[in-house]
Amino acid sequence: MLRPKPQRLTEDRAEAIALQVLAFVIADPAQSSRFLSLTGSSPDDLRGAASSRELQTATLDYLLSDESLLLSFCQEAGIDPSSIGPAYQLLAGRIDD
């Protein structure tokens, strides 16, 4: 069986992944509470900063810190877990917003 060719990781793709992760985390009340606590953010902060590089990297960092959460997200989203680290690195390298 042939595997589909992985999508090339671009900055836009990394940002899209980060936004998917944020939506995934916020949808779970326990994860949402923990994420907000660790980042010192409020729900209003998230709405206003979802497109900021800092929040995107914090979101990916949060996901990478919990392997079971990472695998759960990747399974639900149909994303290869090995693409999350490079997405984080790509976004973290460009924190100039």
Closest CA to 37 of 17, 64, 58, 16: 58
69 to 5, 12, 21, 93: CA distances (angstroms): 25, 23, 10, 24
pTM of this prediction? 0.84
As a whole number, the mean pLDDT across the chain is: 88
* 54-74 tens-digit pLDDT: 999 999 999 999 999 999 999
Residue 75 to residue 89: CA distance in whole angstroms: 21
Percent with pLDDT over 90 in the chain: 70
Location of structure tokens 């392997």: 67
Residue 39 to residue 5: CA distance in whole angstroms: 35
